[in-house]
Amino acid sequence: MKFQMKKIITLLFIAALSILLSACGSGQETNSSTAESDNVTNEQNETTEAAVESEEPESSTEQAVVQESAIEETTEATTETTEAGSNTLVVYFSNTGNTRAIAESIANGLSADIYEIIAEEPYTEADLDYGDDNSRSTQEMNDPSARPAISGSVEYMEQYDTVYIGYPIWWGEAPRILDTFVESYDFTDKTVIPFCTSASSGVGSSASGLASLAGTGNWLEGQRFSGSESAEEVMEWVNGL
């Protein structure tokens, strides 16, 4: 009987021990699964961080794109009108650079805004061939009603009280695109100062022709340059006006 009791107690002890051991075993599993989930969380954190990290360059790329488009916009605006705030604007049309050089001398000398008349359809060398009766420039100059389109426009024309307008002489006149320009703006209360460059011709009736097409503005007599004048020579004329 005593022996049997001992046997039962031993069995109970073994049973209790095995329960205890199995409980410990499952506890470890719980711990390891907690550790695993910790890893997942870390992984997730790392992934999130990686995402944030990879988002940063993306967003800075986006910023760069935004900045680039801002620069583009600025460039466009700058091309048309620099130093907003000036009350003098120098407008010019030039294909081979002679009129541009004079316009830049005036604009630099007066710290004025500058605007280039750019044809919507740019003139090619063939277009400018005045030896060819069928070239675009010859055809336009033979047609007083031709009005070549201009790309862009002067921003804030109302802020200027003095406008210089420069162009090359084509067949004794201002190119037709100047007609397009002067007919597009109101020059009321503005002093308009025409200037031109040519191989040898004088201003002729080019300036008065533009004045009557504009219909508004106080137009001064035009001045002809060869295109090779120094900035000092150009400013001498400007300061003498």
Residues 207, 193 contacting (CB under 8 angstroms): no
Which C-beta is closer to ligand FMN: that of 168 or that of 217? 168
Per this entry, what is the length of the chain? 241
Cα–Cα dist 209/153, whole Å = 22
Among residues 81 and 197, whose Cβ is nearest to ligand FMN? 197
Q: Is 146 in the site for ligand FMN (CB under 6 A)?
A: no
In the set 4, 28, 134, 200, which binds ligand FMN (CB under 6 A)?
A: 200
Beta-ladder partners of 219: 192
Written as six digits, the tokens of 120 are 């919507």
Q: Would you give the binding string for ligand FMN spanning residues 45-84, x where CB under 6 A is met?
A: ----------------------------------------
> In the set 88, 137, 162, 206, which binds ligand FMN (CB under 6 A)?
137
CB 126 within 8 A of CB 95: no
Tell me if 111 sits within 8 A of 89, measured CB to CB.
no
Q: Is 223 in the site for ligand FMN (CB under 6 A)?
A: no
**Residue 194 in the binding site for ligand FMN (CB under 6 A):** no
Choice between 159 and 201, CB closer to ligand FMN: 201
Give the C-alpha separation, 9 to 15, whole Å: 10
Site membership for ligand FMN, residue 169 (CB under 6 A): yes
Residues 137/130, Cβ–Cβ less than 8 Å:
yes
Q: What are φ and ψ of residue 92, in 5° steps? A: -150, 155
Q: Which is nearer to ligand FMN, 99 or 162 (CB)?
A: 99
Give the footprint of ligand FMN on this chain (CB under 6 A): 94-100, 128, 130, 137, 168-172, 197-201, 227
